[in-house]
Amino acid sequence: MNQDVCVAAIQMVSSMQVQANCACAEQLVAKAAQAGAQIVALPEYFPLIGMREDGALQYAEADGEGPLQDFLRQLAIRHRIWLAGGTVPLRGDSSGKVRNSLLVFNPQGERVLRYDKVHLFSLERGSERYDESAVMEPGRDVCSFMTPFGHVGVALCYDLRFPELFRKFAGVDMIVLPAAFTYGTGQAHWEVLLRARAIENQCYLIASAQGGRHESGRNTWGQSMIVDPWGEILAQQAQGEGVVMAKCSVRRLQQVRAMLPALNHRVL
């Protein structure tokens, strides 16, 4: 990291109404920016959580153009922030499928990153059934971007369970992870996995989540949080809409890496 930076994880409980979700996101991002946040992350599926995965199909946009992409671009410009825009559905290569895409915009509104979710979630647990691959196609690339504050890696939700992806971020200063963990899986694994990913890469981790009972009936875990390179939770929120903020400190990052230089001891 080149300098300290204030970061914010936005937590939402998105409905089936895109316009209302965008209005909520705008209000929460404004609140974060007014409090001094310089990097802000929205949660996965911020524009819509519907009854089924195929709800995203009707809002799929071409890469580089569309109302959701314009909304995120203007939000970054208006508040002069680095904005990790949760996810938006972008049209895929396969007919009838989309990519679940995280777009990052700088304060000038320039898109500096597109990351397509690599690991697609599926679950069968009692009456709960999810299968993102039914309407989505996976990405292939691991992505990161540079800011004046430092080097930032990105991942999405289910990616969290695959440490081999995160090991490719060794040396980054922070990782941003928008998510929409189900209540049951989040209760069991969310915190321990987030802290592990921060600890093993000795970096900050900003996790922005969906958190609550949705209009569609889905129940998400929430617990948006910011974790430091030692695995300490700097700030978090259990459920409901809100802004989770903390300062990422250059001194703290350097202290942890100097005290326990595990990244320099890697063999494999």
Q: Catalytic residues, which ones?
A: 44, 117, 157
- Judge whether 44 and 180 are in contact, CB under 8 Å: yes
Class of residue 109 by CB neighbours under 10 A (exposed 0-12, middle 13-18, buried 19+): middle
Structure token digits, residue 185: 């899986």
Structural element, H or E, at residue 99: strand 98-105
136 touches 97 (CB < 8 A): yes
| The token pair that represents 232 in the structure block | 């300490």
Identity of residue 143: C
Q: What span, in angstroms and rounded, lies between the C-alpha atoms of 121 and 177?
A: 15
